[in-house]
Chain A
Amino acid sequence: MGALTDRSNPPTVTANRVERASSKKRRKPLALFIVPAVLVVVGVVLLFMLGGGTDSIPIIGDDGPDDTVPEFDFTTTKTTGIPTVSEFDKAALAASAEQTGTEITPTIDDLFTNAFLDPTNWREGDYEEVFAAFAPAALPAAQENVETLTLGTTAGDVFEKVRPNKSNLKYRVLFDPDGNPDTAVVRFTFNATGKRLDGTALAIASSGQLFLQDLDGWKITAFDIVRSDTEAEVTVSTGASGGSGATGTS
């Protein structure tokens, strides 16, 4: 930064107002505007890079492909219990719904990690781990919709890397008359950014609802999923969930 000021010509301290005014007029060259502008820009850049934490380091165009599976966790924003008996303990119902959500979330985290984030899966176009989350009755439909439910079977030909962005879950849990969770509906919004091999980026957006039942573990029995990916024009987070992400454009 020192190179920006000419230390060989320090500012002259003038004796009176007229001289100072005269000097100011003379010494208002470009550098005086540029130096503060540069400082401001540098400050903004540093703030942008450091203020966002380690998650916000831009990766597009710098560190090439890697095989690490980015850490990812959904954030649960709301959980609601629905009783099937007319008399129930509201607090107990809410606690049970919360507990059910806590039990299911790892399944959903894994589902989306396997479907979009694990390079081993999308490079090979092999999503067997994704299908393991579906109940037998829903499995054929899931397999038929693999391109919508996952990054796609040809993703390895398209993407260099994919990083998750902020993604949310909301639960609604139906309890049986004995107070056991019977059916859970998960409303999800999943976001990620994929850097393509050609250097462009895609804002990946999957949203919808999953019905789950505990069939030797929580399995998806019905689903309604919409993919609304858009071109992206900015950087992506490098790993942990909740990082700032790409802005999709349309």
Chain B
Amino acid sequence: MIAASAARRRAALLAALLVAWIAGSVLGAGEHETAGARPMFQIEPAHAEFVPVLNSEEPIFVLVIGSDARPDQDVNSQRADSIHILAVNPAKHKATIVGIPRDSYVSIPDHGTTKINAALAMGGPELVVATVESLTGLTMDYWAITGFEGFNSMVNQVDGLVVDVPFAMDDGSSRAYFEPGVQRLPGDEALAFARNRHDLPAGDFGRSENQGLLMISALAQLRKEFAKDPSRLLDWVGAFTRNAESTVALDELMNLAFTGTEVNHKTVVNIVAPGGSGMAGGLSVVTLDMAALQAISADLADDGLLKKGNIPPSPNAPLLEGE
């Protein structure tokens, strides 16, 4: 019995040693055990990024045209519903938007004097560019155009535009029914917001400013989405190219889009060329304040930016002040 008991004890001891050895191996004896016992710490995360933004001191001028074309109509052969000069200062990461009311009564090169919106139907985007260049003395680097359907699709393809609607709207003509405040607008609602003029005190002037506000909202959204997921840039560029015509080549568009992500939307100045209403040849027209427009154009020419003294009052000021 004694011998048997001693043998069992030896077996138990051997087994215990083996268990200890195996367990030690599994848990990482020696060096590794030391590693497991040392204090753990989170190593500081590091971030590296590079965005190929344009950094020229020279401003970039883009004429953005909204065509009155309905679905199945050629955007280039209808009247222009909106006309905006987008001036970008790449070096300073700033921009200016100048809306030109569509009913502005101006000289259209080789086509006499009439509403500027007729220039599109008369000679396509190139004639609108020539007209704006003649009017302002600025040289447009690019133009881009879309119609109702393209605008609607473009907005929907970036999952809607988040817009801070500045005041209530209730216009049956454009179907713009909005409460003020931040909201995500799908394509049709963004279009309604852009088209509404009947319940704005300054009519087409106020509408033009709201159209500029949509551009700023798009810029803000692009920046936000790019910061979260840079590949969203491709979605935005794709949505633009699928729904707009433009002289901007794809690679240039990518560069402009990258540059856009660096432009602080809060610093973008959004104005409308000042003027008043009048009649010409039986037509209700907008008569631009040419002295003010020339001062604005001259100011923009060198850097795409406006001095405070050249920023006209907002045409929507009565509504904005009332909010």
Interface string of B34-75 (1 = CB under 8 A from A): 111010111101111111100000000000000000000000
- Cβ–Cβ contact B258 & A222, under 8 A: yes
Chain A residues whose CB sits within 8 angstroms of the CB of B241 once the complex forms: 84-85, 177
Q: What's the tally of chain A residues with a CB closer than 8 Å to chain B?
A: 63
- Of residues 1 through 39 on chain B, the ones whose CB sits less than 8 Å from some CB of chain A are 4, 7-8, 10-12, 14-16, 18-19, 22-23, 25-26, 28, 30-32, 34-36, 38
Chain A residues whose CB sits within 8 angstroms of the CB of B234 once the complex forms: 82, 172, 174, 183, 185
- Of residues 115 through 160 on chain A, the ones whose CB sits less than 8 Å from some CB of chain B are 137-138, 141-142, 145, 147-149
- Cβ–Cβ contact B4 & A176, under 8 A: no
B281 to chain A, nearest CB (A): 39
B148 to chain A, nearest CB (A): 15
- Of residues 65 through 112 on chain B, the ones whose CB sits less than 8 Å from some CB of chain A are none
A92, CB-defined interface residue at 8 Å: no
Residue of B25, B47, B229 ringed by the most chain A CB atoms within 10 A: B47
Chain B residues whose CB sits within 8 angstroms of the CB of A86 once the complex forms: 153, 242-243
Interface bin, chain B: 35 or more
Cα–Cα, bound, A225→B230 (Å): 11
- Of residues 211 through 250 on chain A, the ones whose CB sits less than 8 Å from some CB of chain B are 211, 213, 221-231, 233-234, 249-250
Q: A174-B237, A183-B254, A185-B231 are in contact. Are A8 and B7 (CB under 8 A)?
A: yes
B158 to chain A, nearest CB (A): 12
B23 to chain A, nearest CB (A): 7
Cα–Cα, bound, A31→B243 (Å): 79
Chain B residues whose CB sits within 8 angstroms of the CB of A187 once the complex forms: 231
- Cβ–Cβ contact A227 & B19, under 8 A: no
A201, CB-defined interface residue at 8 Å: yes
Cα–Cα, bound, A150→B25 (Å): 33
B179, CB-defined interface residue at 8 Å: no
- Cβ–Cβ contact A60 & B50, under 8 A: no
A95, CB-defined interface residue at 8 Å: no
Chain B residues whose CB sits within 8 angstroms of the CB of A228 once the complex forms: 43, 45
Cα–Cα, bound, A182→B48 (Å): 24
- Cβ–Cβ contact B15 & A31, under 8 A: yes
Chain A residues whose CB sits within 8 angstroms of the CB of B289 once the complex forms: none
Which of the segments A17-25, A36-44, A104-112, A161-169 contacts the partner chain? A36-44
Cα–Cα, bound, A240→B25 (Å): 24
Chain A residues whose CB sits within 8 angstroms of the CB of B46 once the complex forms: 147-148, 226-227
User: Could you say which of A45, A84, A224 contacts B237, with CB atoms under 8 Å apart?
Assistant: A84
Cα–Cα, bound, A211→B49 (Å): 11
A247 to chain B, nearest CB (A): 11
User: Could you say which of B7, B23, B40, B254 contacts A250, with CB atoms under 8 Å apart?
Assistant: B40
B38 nearest CB neighbor, chain A only: A200
Chain B residues whose CB sits within 8 angstroms of the CB of A85 once the complex forms: 241-242
Q: A145-B48, A226-B45, A231-B43 are in contact. Are A5 and B11 (CB under 8 A)?
A: yes
A223 to chain B, nearest CB (A): 5
Cα–Cα, bound, A249→B12 (Å): 37
Q: Can you report 27 residue pairs joining A to B where beta carbons are below 8 Å apart?
A: A4-B11, A6-B7, A6-B8, A9-B4, A9-B7, A29-B12, A30-B12, A30-B15, A37-B19, A60-B32, A84-B241, A85-B242, A86-B242, A141-B48, A142-B50, A145-B50, A148-B47, A148-B48, A149-B48, A185-B230, A202-B43, A209-B230, A222-B51, A223-B50, A224-B48, A227-B46, A233-B28
Give the 3 A-B CB pairs with smallest separation, nearest first: A145-B48, A199-B31, A141-B50
Interfacial residues, chain A to chain B (CB-CB below 8 A): 3-6, 8-9, 29-31, 34-35, 37-38, 41-42, 44-45, 48, 60-61, 82-86, 137-138, 141-142, 145, 147-149, 172, 174, 176-177, 182-183, 185, 187, 199-202, 209, 211, 213, 221-231, 233-234, 249-250
